[in-house]
Chains A and B, each alone.
Chain A
Amino acid sequence: DIQMTQSPSAMSASVGDRVTITCRANQDINNYLAWFQQKPGKVPERLIYASSSLQSGVPSRFSGSGSGTEFTLTISSLQPEDFATYYCLQHISSPLTFGGGTKVEI
């Protein structure tokens, strides 16, 4: 299985902050990586697909980058509605594997 290591597991931030979350794969996954946002009690929503493509309807303050084994999700200016848990997902091969999640708190 491909292991996805996400960091940090939790972080405190303020409105307006620039936030960066990292995901590392233990083998090359090219750009087969997506980022999801999940709010409490809600279904995960895809923010970024193919490492850096913004999902339709997602604000442009979200961006993704990386290829191979290291990937980054950046929120350029954190908004109140962005406090949530974020997950990366590799889908180059089965079994698909998620990162452990990053909880972004006030």
Chain B
Amino acid sequence: QVQLQESGPGLVKPSETLSLTCTVSGASITSSYYYWGWIRQPPGKGLEWIGNMFYSGKTYYKPSLESRVTISADTSKNQFSLKLNSVTAADTAVYYCARRPSGHSPDYWGQGILVTVSS
């Protein structure tokens, strides 16, 4: 059974860096068939795709976030991470990690983690 679990601080100060980790079990992030990515949802609002990475290390980001986002992998731990720098209150959201088979939509999601940006 594939499982994804987000972890990281629930509170980040404005202008600092949001850092989250997704731990994957039941599948390998080095598989050539899957993308591994992040999606967020501000409170009371809709879903927003942030970006994803492929096993080769190639990454794809939402253009409006690209200057602040990095998605990377730690293959030894079967984890991938999200870093979003220079955060503001607008980055307050539930952050989900997700698996997406190549050519398909996301099929497995983590439970989500609420990150609040506040001083």
Write the residues of chain A forming the contact surface with B, with a CB cutoff of 8 angstroms.
1, 32-34, 36, 38, 43-44, 46, 49-50, 87, 89, 91, 94-101
- Which of A38, A50, A96 has most chain B Cβ within 10 Å? A96
* Bound: A89/B49 CA distance, A: 10
Cα distance, A98 to B47, chains bound together (Å): 6
CA distance A102 to B60 in the complex (A): 27
B42-56 CB mask vs A (1 if < 8 Å, else 0) is: 000011110110000
Cross-chain contact of A100 among B46, B96, B105 (Cβ < 8 A): B46
Do A98 and B104 touch across chains, with their CB atoms under 8 A apart?
A: no
Which listed residue (A50, A96, A101) contacts B49, Cβ 8 A?
A96
Tell me the dominant secondary structure on chain B's binding face. loop
- Residues in A with CB closer than 8 Å to B47 are 36, 38, 44, 87, 89, 98, 101
Binding site for A on B (CB under 8 A): 46-49, 51-52, 60-63, 96, 100, 103-107, 109-112
Residues of A within 8 A of B52 (CB): 94
B46 and A50 contacting across the interface, CB-CB below 8 Å? no
Given contacts A43-B96, A49-B104, contact A97 B109 (CB under 8 A): no
Q: Which of B49, B105, B110 has the most CB of A within 10 A?
A: B105
Q: How far is the CA of A46 from the CA of B48 in the complex (A)?
A: 16
Contact call B112/A43, Cβ cutoff below 8 A: yes
Instruction: Looking at the assembled complex, report how far the CB atom of A86 sits from the nearest CB atom of chain B, in whole angstroms.
Output: 11
State in angstroms the CA–CA spacing of A1 and B61 once bound together.
12
Q: Report the bound CA distance from A38 to B96 in whole Å.
A: 13
In the complex, A46 Cα to B39 Cα: how many Å? 14
Residues of B within 8 Å of A98, CB to CB, are: 46-49
CB nearest neighbor in B for A48: B105
User: CB-nearest residue of chain B relative to A6?
Assistant: B46
Q: Which residues of A contact B112 (CB under 8 A)?
A: 43
State the CA gap A32–B104 with chains docked (Å): 7
In the complex, the answer to whether B60 meets A46 with C-beta atoms within 8 Å is no
Q: How far is the CB of B61 from chain A (nearest CB, A)?
A: 7
Residues from chain A with Cβ under 8 Å of B107 in the complex: 46, 49
Give chain B nearest CB distance to A54 CB in angstroms: 13
